[in-house]
């Protein structure tokens, strides 16, 4: 919240929306001073839409299957996002790659949460890939979005251990718990104007962050 104006965010989802729920809860508890102006999904079946409706948040569905061209889809998405006049656009499990025109339109105001310790394991199936690589830890990263897939400057990162008995599902559960902590934290920093993107860097209180962003320690291991 800057002055009296609420910090407005639009959240893009494709699925369960547990991160969306974490943001709704963080706002309700006062931990996050922001207003969710709208939730947009590319899938009408996304469970996150129900979560939004339960909290009286306006929703829109823009189904990519109804567009024969990626640019047309991105344009419609951008127009819908802009109709909510957001200060920040938040990708929370939005499973579509956005084209460079969309990214350029919102650059510096567009963030994503990714379930790995970037730059390790960009893209999909991150937990299985962490296991296959023999990693002893993994985690989640909140980062600014640029046209390089999962490659924009990191804002915050937190890690969890990988145990011998783990499979991708057990790791996913553990990682989601820390996602639900670092996502509201990062957005609050943005709302307070403490974090910004300048050129290729994320700045915290005016100072460039390291490539992995700020490290946050959580006590989630089980």
Binding site for ligand GRF (CB under 6 A): 13, 15-19, 48, 92-93, 113-115, 140, 176, 179
**Shortest distance in whole angstroms from residue 188 CB to ligand GRF:** 18
In this complex, which beta carbon is closest to ligand GRF, that of residue 119 or of residue 193?
119
Which of residues 95 and 215 has its CB atom nearest to ligand GRF in the complex? 95
Q: Is 127 a catalytic residue?
A: no
Nearer to ligand GRF, 115 or 153 (CB): 115
Task: Give whichever of 124 and 207 is closer to ligand GRF, judged by the CB atom.
Answer: 124
State in angstroms the smallest separation of the CB of 19 from ligand GRF: 3
User: What CA dihedral angle connects 202, 205, 209 and 212, to 10 degrees?
Assistant: -80
Cα–Cα distance for residue pair 22/181, rounded to 1 Å: 8
H or E element at residue 59 = strand 59-61
Query: In terms of DSSP bridges, do strands 59-61 and 195-198 run parallel, antiparallel, or are they unpaired?
Result: unpaired
Query: Could you say which of 66, 114, 127, 143 is catalytic?
Result: 114
Closest CA to 61 of 73, 69, 7, 70: 73
Q: Measured on CA atoms in the order 221, 202, 183, 45, is the torsion positive or negative?
A: negative
Tokens at 181, concatenated = 């902590």
CB of 161 to ligand GRF, least distance (A): 17
Least distance between ligand GRF and beta carbon 68 (Å): 26
Q: Which residue number is nearest to ligand GRF in terms of Cβ? A: 93
- What's the Cα-to-Cα distance from 85 to each of 21, 36, 78, 113, 157, rounded to whole Å? 21, 11, 11, 21, 28
> Which positions are catalytic?
114
């Amino acid at each position: 919240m800057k002055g009296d104006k609420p910090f407005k965010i639009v959240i893009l989802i494709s699925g369960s929306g547990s991160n969306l729920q974490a943001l709704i809860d963080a706002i309700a508890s006062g931990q996050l001073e922001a207003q969710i102006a709208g939730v947009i999904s590319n899938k009408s079946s996304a469970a996150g839409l129900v979560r939004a409706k339960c909290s009286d948040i306006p929703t829109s569905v823009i189904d990519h299957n109804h567009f024969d061209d990626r640019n047309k889809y991105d344009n419609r998405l951008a127009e819908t996002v802009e109709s909510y006049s957001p200060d920040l656009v938040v990708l929370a499990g939005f499973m579509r790659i956005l084209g460079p025109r969309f990214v350029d339109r919102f650059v510096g105001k567009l963030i994503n949460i990714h379930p790995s310790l970037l730059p390790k394991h960009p893209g999909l199936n991150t937990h299985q890939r962490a296991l296959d690589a023999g990693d002893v830890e993994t985690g989640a990263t909140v980062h600014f979005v640029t046209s390089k897939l999962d490659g924009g400057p990191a804002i915050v990162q937190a890690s969890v251990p990988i145990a011998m008995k783990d499979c991708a599902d057990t790791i996913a559960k553990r990682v989601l718990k820390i996602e639900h902590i670092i996502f509201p934290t990062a957005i609050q920093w943005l709302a307070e104007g403490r974090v910004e993107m300048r050129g290729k860097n994320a700045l915290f209180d005016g100072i460039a962050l390291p490539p992995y962003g700020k490290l946050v320690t959580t006590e989630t291991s089980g």
